[in-house]
Structure 1
Amino acid sequence: MKSEHLVFVHLFNDFSGSPRVLADAIEGLDKRNKSISIFTSSHNGFLSNISGTKLFNIKYKKCNNKYLNFFYYLLSQLDAFIKLIFFFRTLEKNKTLLIVNTMLPFGALLAGRVCGVKVVCYVHETAIKPKLLKIILRFFIKTCSNSVVFVSKYLMKVEKINGLPNSVIYNGLRQDFIPPGHINYEEKFASNTILLVASLKVYKGIYEFVELAKIMPDYNFVAALNCHDEELKYFIDNNDLSDNIELLARPDSLQRFYERASFVLNLSRPEGWIETFGLSILEGMSFGCVVIVPKVGAPPEFVDKNCGLLANGRDLIIIKDFIRTMDFETWFKLSKNAKIRSDCFSNSKFTLNFNEYINKCFEE
């Protein structure tokens, strides 16, 4: 007989960051004496087929029309609210914990409040538009949640919900992401490879990356981009690219790129996108890559001058000089420090922290 019930809700199941983090958290749970249910969209993603869980669908789809998209979003919240109301009736309220992933599923928050179960909001994001929607979502979090978890101290600082317990659980490396046991540092440094892992968006610094490749012709630039093939083709056809840059759409495995890269860049523009964690940075560090990251947001919480460079992504001359003037001894020291720093964000530490938090919620 299961004595505790964990119910997770996520709006859109895909292969992006927030469902990935949630999937790792669920997979790492101590499942003894627990029933685990997941409510999410019917799309294929990280939350599909997690062993030891029951999957329930929330009706949700996306389209290019923003008004129709918002209508579908509202319908999904009505669907989530109704389904959860009936579902909670089958569970013991004092032994049930609802974890709502991201700010968006306000219908789930409301259902938890109405049914009197404990509610945790797991916040990954801050860039929600329009502003009015964000105000409304924060209202639901404040009035319906018992506690809030953030993925970084930066995010907790800017999105803190007053009157509720606020905590930080740092993300960890993916369970299936295995850093190398041995790194050939000489070969890695000599590759002169600079890697960008990002979406094909202006605010992610793709144009800065292209320009950097032009002013550093003796280095190899590789961008692993989260985009469709046709989007990448359009970008390539409409931009003047140098011969030393390679752009790839959703490559099957990032490990082989991290393994070869000397440097990993994050060039996000602060006015358009502030990193609330920065998983690709951490992944690069676990492979001994020296990292160059924004000065704002969460990256400074785990990157400093001992393992990389904090810089504005538009300061291309500063970035170029940092890379060009680095000899092997200096790079090797930063690379080793990056690898050591990444060990603090292992998957095992993440799952340990998440399990401790869940157990604490049930005890309170």
Structure 2
Amino acid sequence: MDDDRAIELYAQFRASYQTKRVHDIVQQPNLSGGQTMTAPMIPYIESADDFLRELFNSVNDFRRWINTLDAWRQVYESCDEIERLSLLVEHIRPYSTLALGGPQAIRGRIMYAAAICCGHANYVLHGDNPNLQWDGVRNLNMKIASGIGQPWANWKELAPILSNKLGYGAIHDLTDNYRNHHEHGHPRNIGMGLTASVAVSANEKGQRMWSFGPREAITLETVIEQTAEQHALAVEAYNLLCALAKEQFEALMQFTNSLYPFSPLPVIDGPWKGKKQAYSIGTFEVQGIEIANPLTILQAGVERVRYYRQKNTSGWVWSIEVPENACELLRAAEAEIRRFFPD
């Protein structure tokens, strides 16, 4: 196919892509909603936010691959055999490989994300139960994931999708298990071309049987139909993972706030007192007041005022008034830091 024809076909693809076959787009939730958190929340929120962000991209990429294939399908059907072969090699088969592998890839990532989040939450909430712990070192499978997911209602809804829906069913049967996760053999071609097949089975007497023959190519329509169905399951699984993360976040917030009523740390240093600091490195702002981090280097003539988290008639406030339990607050702050940053 010459360049002019290739450009013409690509222009047709661009026009076809304006109409999407798969519409659902997932959105990453804002777990914390800007709430202040105690130190035990840090490992959880960092892990959960990262997983939800990357999986948000993965699920939406899966959608893009399917819509790309569907747009090329409309162009492909109007081409002759030579042009079809060129489109298959240059555009369709690479995206087909990605799309057919997408369900299993997303399934594995969601299972791992759920297990890590359950592990963090269980460590804080159920630390005395060894059956609910996972350190992330052992190879993960559904048996392990289901074990540590037991305290969580949304895991029980997510687990069946990961166990026998996402990556299973018709997409497995109609593509002869394209991913070949059992034998790692060569998959069937996409669009056109035969694939040689040698299959081994056993008859009723247990005798080994061999079968030889070609396998027809998987049609492009089959790829698109099956991956579109799988995308709907991926969206459902992602939304349940978001619900699981929200469920765990709320449980952790309630528990850690009961352990650490002065949230965030009960003691902070700031704001600047004396002359104005020439630079603001190592500072942050709370309710319009500039607060200094402990390691900030001060200029000559600048001091810091220690503030304590206290409760008055209007609610929780930062006050320079030294409370009766000031020493206790300082010890709690130091112990909390050492617990989560032992080194």
* Higher RCO structure, 1 or 2 (CA under 8 Å, sep 6+): 2
Flag the structure with higher helix content.
Answer: 2
* Both structures adopt the same fold (TM-score exceeding 0.5): no
- Range into which the TM-score falls when normalised by the shorter chain: under 0.3
TM-score by length of 1: 0.24
TM-score by length of 2: 0.25
